[in-house]
Amino acid sequence: MKTLIAGGKVIDPSQGLEGDFDILIDGKVIAKIDKPGKIKLDGKGKTIDARGCIVAPGLVDMHVHLREPGYEGKETIATGSEAAVAGGFTSLACMANTNPINDKQTVTGYILAKAREARCKVFPIGACTVALEGLKIADMGEMKEAGVVGFSDDGKTVMNAELQRRIFELAQQLNMPVLVHAEDEHLAADGQMHEGAVSTELGLDGRPAVAEEIMVSRDIMLARTTGCRVHIQHVSSAGSLELIRWAKTKKLPVTCEVTPHHLTLTDENIGDYDTNCKMAPPLRSAEDRKALIKALADGTIDAIATDHAPHGILLKMIEFDKAAFGIIGLETALALTLRLVDETKLTLMRAIEALTVAPARILGLDVGTLQVGKAADVCIFQPDKTFVYTPERIRSKSKNSPFINWELPGAVRYTMVDGKVVYTG
């Protein structure tokens, strides 16, 4: 089965490709890329009309919570993957805080079995510590054999620095990255939002930026000590960026990601106690947001990741200080990133890189590229076509998003996984 994607503008940061090209897909792989009109299907196969569209590698989200097993009321691997492909994503890395927690090969195996019926590719992340308790190292080697692509206690921070050092040493030996949620749990304590003038005004306990910065600096130093590939998840403060910049000038194996919501919103958006603006790390100040955008543009921030965190209304339609942390993000990530491109804060090339090959490389995944011979995972979107993100169009099982009813650019037209169209918009 052959498919020709014709008439679109191709952007593939993995090979520095930007321009008008047609792409031929043969079976599951990219077969050929050539000037418009050069590739002929000679009667066999179908053509996808990509005129007016950007043709990019399928997007890669290295940080999602698919809630299965254990919290299928919030999301399942199936519904999460539906949301993913609707947002242009073709690969997801799912965090370990399921129930049971993915801290052993049986759970990894269960997730991978479920993933076979998903609309897109799903790569599990294993826990660093047993039950995410931060006390005892999980069987990381066993989980690697079972198929995890990295380790993380996401949602929690390993507070014991010695334990973190040992985790890094073992992961380094396994040649696996460790993804860290960097928030000092004592400093963040019962904080509900960024600590600053807005939290003071609202009378809510704050999670200070320094809670993140201390752990970012600790883990950078431990990366230097151990040589482990350390990836800082959802960076949110300007101070953390200074530390990461330093690490990169020292050529330390440190990478990081930012979420679309931290790039778009600030603590002011909490307004009248909007629980859909409650997440950890929290939305920070306007200066932090500005610094994040700049760092994404200059490459200090490697990747964009959603931290897609579905929660039902029982955990969101309640008092702010009781509400759960986190929001969904798979169906808005591309659009929110394109807003920054429209505001000329980011080139389209850099934006797509942060959504495709950059996260793929951090996790060592052979995806996020349109190179000939690679899997035909493709995202085709129309940058100038807007859509309104209504509750009805949300494919995730949960609807906890602060972007509901926003008009957003970049409607996804087609998403393809292994050469097969899995979503048509």
Partner 1 sequence: MMLNRKDILGLKDLTVEEINLILDTADGFRDIATRKRKKVPALQGHTVVNLFYEKSTRTRTSFEIAAKRLSADTVNFTASESSVGKGETFIDTVRNIEAMHPDVIVVRHGSAGAPHMLSKMIKPGVINAGDGAHEHPSQALLDMLMIRDERGGFEGLEVAIIGDIAHSRVARSNIYGLQRMGAKVRIAGPATMIPIGIEKLGVTVAPSVEDAIAGVDVIMMLRIQLERQSQVLFSSMREYSRQFGLNAKRLELARKDAIIMHPGPMNRGVEIDPFVADCQRSRILNQVTNGVAIRMALLYLVTGGGN
Q: Which residues are catalytic?
A: 307
Q: Which two tokens stand for residue 374?
A: 């690679």
Can you tell me which of 25, 118, 132, 204 binds partner 1, judged by CB under 8 A? 204
> What minimum distance in Å lies between the beta carbon of 99 and partner 1?
14
| Count of residues of this chain found to bind partner 1 when the rule CB under 8 A is applied | 23
Position 198 contacts partner 1 (CB under 8 A): yes
Question: Phi and psi for 109 in degrees, rounded to 5?
Answer: -60, -40
* 413, 402 contact by CB (below 8 A): no
Q: Which does 87 bind (CB under 5 to 8 A by kind): Zn ion, partner 1, none?
A: none
- Amino acid identity, position 421: V
ω into residue 310 within 30 of 0, thus cis? no
CB 121 within 8 A of CB 96: no
341 binds, options Zn ion, partner 1, none, Cβ within 5 to 8 A by partner type:
none
320 sits near partner 1 (criterion: CB under 8 A): yes
CB 64 → Zn ion: shortest distance, Å? 11
Distance CA 223, CA 254 (A): 7
Which of Zn ion, partner 1, none lies near 181, with the C-beta cut-off 5 to 8 A by kind? Zn ion
317's contact among Zn ion, partner 1, none, with CB below 5 to 8 A by partner kind, is partner 1
| Site membership for partner 1, residue 184 (CB under 8 A) | no
Name the nearest CA neighbour of 256 among 305, 211, 298, 290.
305
Closest CB to partner 1 among residues 189, 388: 189
The C-alpha atoms of residue 143 and residue 237 are separated, in whole angstroms, by: 32
Inter-helix orientation angle 161-173/209-226, to 10°: 50
| Contacted by 154, from Zn ion, partner 1, none: CB < 5 to 8 Å by type | Zn ion
State the DSSP string of 355-377.
HTHHHHHHHT-S-S---TTSB--
For residue 396, how many C-alpha atoms fall within 13 Å in the half-sphere facing its CB? 28
**Beta strand pairing call for 22-26 and 2-6:** antiparallel
Report the Cα 377 to chain-centroid distance in Å.
17
- Binding piece for partner 1, criterion CB under 8 A, among 30-38, 103-111, 191-199, 384-392: 191-199
Return the number of the residue (1 or 314) whose C-beta is nearest partner 1: 314
Q: How far apart are CA 341 and CA 95, in angstroms?
A: 29
Among 126, 206, 282, 359, binds partner 1 (CB under 8 A): 206
Is 99 near partner 1 (CB under 8 A)?
no
In the bound complex, what is the minimum distance in angstroms from residue 200's beta carbon to Zn ion? Answer: 25
Does 402 help bind partner 1 (rule: CB under 8 A)? Answer: no
* Contact flags string 142-181 toward partner 1, x per CB under 8 A: ----------------------------------------
Residue span 45-84 as binding mask against partner 1, x where in contact by CB under 8 A, dash where not: ----------------------------------------
User: CA 115, 399, 422, 70: dihedral to nearest 10 degrees?
Assistant: 10
- Residues of the shown chain interacting with partner 1 in the complex, contacts defined by CB under 8 A: 189, 195-204, 206, 208, 272-273, 314-315, 317-322
